[in-house]
Amino acid sequence: MLEPNRTRDIEDVIDRYAAEAETLLAELVAIPSVNPLFPGIAAGEFEGGERRVNEVLGERLRDVGLETHFVEKAPGRPNLVAVRSGTGTGRSLGLNGHVDTVAPPSKDERLFPDPWKAEVRDGVMYGLGAADMKAGHAAMWLAMKALKEADVQLAGDIQIHAVVGEETMSHELGTSAVIEAGFVVDGALILEPTSSASDVMALSNAAPGNYLFNLTVRGKATHWASRNQAIRAGGLGDEIGVNAIDKAVYVYNAMRQLEEQWAFSKSHPQFAPGAFIIHPGVLHADIGIAAAPYFPDRARFDYLLSFPPGEKAEDIVTEIEAHIHTASQLDPWLRQHPVEFGWEDTWPPAYTDPESPFATAVLGSRNSLASAESGIDPLDAPSALGAQTDASFYEARGIPALVCGPGDLKYAHSAGEQVDLSLVPMAAKLIARAALDWCR
Ligand SMILES: [Zn+2]
């Protein structure tokens, strides 16, 4: 149970310093910490942005009594670990947030001319990274400020992991590097945006895994006018030419068939039936140049699939390749010219047992904030999140991890990125309550 007086003292400080947290958030937005490996970014253009965010956060967190460390796996891109020491007898709490952002929206898409100049309108702050996820960092600082001002001594440590590289799935440079450096915690809360208008401070314990992959179907180039010879009875068939688009459609249909099977074979109690998908995102076919008077001799699909917690990425690879291989046996050309797969990138699924002590504690802390005024509804259990987060990499090392934070996911990675500023002190209160309850 939380002591009501102590909680009130802490929350008075949070309310008193909320404006300072907004100033900090605007300062963080002003630092262009675009992930330097983000697609479409010119090399060197955003170098040092992540480091600058972590320098600013390091200074602010030292001011409120935390000890700071830097874990630099990729040169020039240090992670910040800030530790608030407890008396040493309690459980530790990790608070995780990435400091990188996606690329800025294009000039015609922007709502405001400068994505790094925070604009506040009617209690909402607009700016790149405001929701995803610098508001989470502002909330972490505000919570630490309040614990200090209210003179709270906890039994367990709090560790803030301010990590680089999340937006390009570079966890080995960010969250995984921090954990491998020895910064292990008993439970981790990821402050990614989970606050939609209808579901304020949703708490998530599960997310699907995903895999980005491509496949190439080969054809045989020839003059377009030979199509009848290639496909009609009495012609020469594959000998004269094979249109890679025709073969790609065959492969596409086989993949669709597998996707239909997945609606039944891939399930998880926390996901709606049919939640796991094999999404074709790009199809490109030609002879090396875009020229319709030829049979294209190559077709390439880029797919992104999702799969349930409990399944392994390597088993998904085996399943997809086996299915396409089997389907290809019914087509003489594909039998002799097997589809080529490129397995590009995977993010493991996330799952923390909703009945675990950590999930129960954080759910209780979150629900204790429920009221008509806060807009938070009590939840029976944590729920699944559609997007991947660094929670997966704590769980991979046996650390329970949950996701809950300020900002609405629908504005993340969007031209109108924004955060409702009332959610920053709300998230700080969640952090403080969770710390009081867990770090005992
Ligand atoms: Zn994010």
Average pLDDT per 10 consecutive residues for the chain, totaling 440 residues: 82 98 98 95 92 98 98 98 96 98 93 94 97 98 98 97 95 97 98 95 96 98 97 96 98 98 96 95 96 97 96 97 98 98 94 97 98 94 91 96 96 94 98 97
Distance of CA 426 from the midpoint of ligand 1 (Å): 19
Distance of CA 380 from the midpoint of ligand 1 (Å): 25
Distance of CA 131 from the midpoint of ligand 1 (Å): 8
What is the reported pLDDT for 386? Answer: 81
Distance of CA 433 from the midpoint of ligand 1 (Å): 23
The residues spanned by each domain of the chain are: 4-207+350-438, 209-347
| Beta-strand runs (E) in 336-438 | 340-347, 350-351, 383-384, 401-403, 418-420
What is the reported pLDDT for 224? Answer: 97
Residues with CB under 5 A from ligand 1 (ion): 132-133, 192
CATH pick for 209-347 out of 3.40.50.880, 3.40.50.1220, 3.30.70.360, 2.30.42.10: 3.30.70.360
Could you give the 3-state DSSP secondary structure of residue 404? coil
Q: Which CATH architecture has domain 4-207+350-438?
A: 3-Layer(aba) Sandwich (3.40)
What is the reported pLDDT for 169? Answer: 87
pTM assigned to the model: 0.88
Six token digits for residue 26: 């605007």
What is the reported pLDDT for 2? Answer: 63
Note the pLDDT tens digit of each residue in 190-230: 999 999 999 999 999 999 999 999 999 999 999 999 999 99
**Cβ atoms < 10 Å from Cβ of 375:** 18
Radius of gyration of the chain (CA): 25
Evaluate whether 169 touches 88 at the Cβ level (below 8 Å): no
What is the reported pLDDT for 1? Answer: 52
